[in-house]
Amino acid sequence: MEDDAELELLLSLDGARYEAAAGYVVEFTAKRTPETPERPHGISYALVFRPIHGEPFVRFDNAHPVPHPGGRFVKAGRAYDHWHRTETDPGRPYVFTTAATLLEDF
């Protein structure tokens, strides 16, 4: 089971917005949710790096499902944990392990 301190740190960042560099911000959303197949870790989150007045450059979230990569013959579910590399990237599956690892990967 995940260290409670790590999870509490992530949850404490909910609503935080920090200037990361001139003209850029980092924003956090993190809330407890019931454990479901879509959110088995019981957290709804979004970690965003973007220009102050623009669309995200990088975003880690579990707000919507994304298809697993592979051909049309690959049988796999849809991943809710994922990350976006650009504002137009539909998302790539992300393997959520712990809150601390999520913050490090972001």
- What does the pLDDT look like over 6-46, one tens digit per residue? 999 999 999 999 999 899 999 999 999 999 988 999 999 99
Structure tokens at 22: 């001139």
Q: Is 42 left (phi over 0), alpha (psi -120 to 50) or beta?
A: left
CA distances from 18 to 6, 98, 103 (A): 20, 22, 14
Within a 10 A sphere around the Cβ of 95, how many other Cβ atoms?
9
pLDDT tier for residue 96 given thresholds of 50, 70 and 90: very high
What's residue 1's pLDDT?
41
Name the residue ranges covered by the structural domains of the chain: 4-105
Structure pTM? 0.84
pLDDT tier for residue 62 given thresholds of 50, 70 and 90: very high
